[in-house]
Structure 1
Amino acid sequence: MISLRLIDQSNWEACIQLKPKQEQEGFIASNLYSIAESKFLPHMKIKAIYCEEMLIGFAMYGIDSDDGNYWIYRFMIDEQFQGRGHGKSAMNLIIKDIQSNDDHTNVIWLGYQPENEQGRKLYARVGFEESGMAPWGEMLAKYSFH
């Protein structure tokens, strides 16, 4: 049973202890950085990803001030919990959370390093379609609500 929960005093320190696999570390900013960044970007949501009562991941998403669309800026599952389908379940919950907001848009965007093959496969499985390289070197992918 996967759930998204607020990050607060009770779990933020556990969130910063979560780590991707060593070969994935270059693909994502640390959770500590992301939590700090969210304090200066009030439109960003930060969520802890739980399996039952076990903290297993982290996500940050919100509306981009440049294009007015929702973007998933950070998404990670701790190395110990990868390969069990939790990423797909959590990503589907994030999509549902975005869709349930009054300010939701018709699309959700994300970007990832082109060599992040595991991420590419996960995003494709939940319905993101690649749309080309961004000027900053990431592959962009778009999820469209039908």
Structure 2
Amino acid sequence: MSEIELIKINSENWREALALSVHVEQQEFVASVTPPVAIALAKAYIRPDGRVVEPYGIYNEKQMVGFFNLHYAPESKEDYWLFHFFIDKGFQRSGIGSKALNELFKHIKQTHPSCHRLRLTVHPENDAGKLFYIKLGFKDDSILTFGEPTYSKYI
């Protein structure tokens, strides 16, 4: 059984995060730049719309295998967003993504107990991503955010 940990990106692991990548055909589903972590880390520094942006590495048995950003408005109950979630191309289709999201749900309940909903967007052509999130309990909100379908999960 694999051990999944979520560890904030910091001065010791940011280079490891920059080395993560996805298959070429998946790139547009994660970010508009390569490596995808670059834009995500920039957002953590810039804090678009005054949001808190926390970048995390997804570790499987002490090795970084994925990444995501958690965005939220301070003091919010439902304005929590998952952005740039991906598993490195060398570790996909092994169940790590599902385990990582389940760890994220636990993490949010522990560190943000007032949070009731996690939201995300999925690229309109990312059919596998849509099915993945639906299997994990996300529901289509029937709205577009940044031109992409928005999904929510109440946690």
Equivalent residues in 2 for 1:97-112 (5 A)? 97-102=107-112, 104-112=114-122
Look up the SS of the partner of 1:95 in the other structure. helix
1:101-138 per-position Cα deviation (integer Å, ceiling 9, x unaligned): 24632211100112112211221121101111415320
2:21 maps to a residue whose letter is K
Name 2:139's counterpart in structure 1. 129
1:40 maps to a residue whose letter is I
Q: Does residue 35 of structure 1 match 2:41?
A: yes
Distance 1:51 1:141 in 2: 26
- Kindly indicate whether the alpha-carbon contact (under 8 Å) linking 2:138 and 2:153 is maintained by their aligned counterparts in 1: yes
Count, aligned residues? 144
Among all aligned residue pairs of Structure 1 and Structure 2, give the percentage whose two residues are the same amino acid.
Answer: 27
Going from structure 1 to structure 2, the CA distance change for 1:72 and 1:135 (only over 3 Å counts) comes to: closer
Give TM-score scaled by structure 2 length.
0.85
What is the alpha-carbon root mean square deviation over aligned residues? 1.8
1:83: how far off?
Answer: 0.1
Name 2:129's counterpart in structure 1. 119
Look up the SS of the partner of 2:46 in the other structure. coil
- Kindly indicate whether the alpha-carbon contact (under 8 Å) linking 2:4 and 2:61 is maintained by their aligned counterparts in 1: yes
Distance 1:109 1:72 in 2: 6
Distance 1:97 1:4 in 2: 8
Q: Match for 1:45 among 24, 45, 54?
A: 54
Name 2:89's counterpart in structure 1. 79
2:83 maps to a residue whose letter is Y
Look up the SS of the partner of 2:7 in the other structure. strand
1:31-62 per-position Cα deviation (integer Å, ceiling 9, x unaligned): 01111210122611111000001110001012
- Kindly indicate whether the alpha-carbon contact (under 8 Å) linking 1:70 and 1:104 is maintained by their aligned counterparts in 2: no
Distance 1:34 1:49 in 2: 14
Distance 2:145 2:119 in 1: 15
Q: Does residue 14 of structure 1 match 2:23?
A: no
- Kindly indicate whether the alpha-carbon contact (under 8 Å) linking 1:18 and 1:31 is maintained by their aligned counterparts in 2: yes
Look up the SS of the partner of 2:83 in the other structure. strand
Give TM-score scaled by structure 1 length.
0.90
- Gaps in structure 2 of 5+ consecutive residues: none
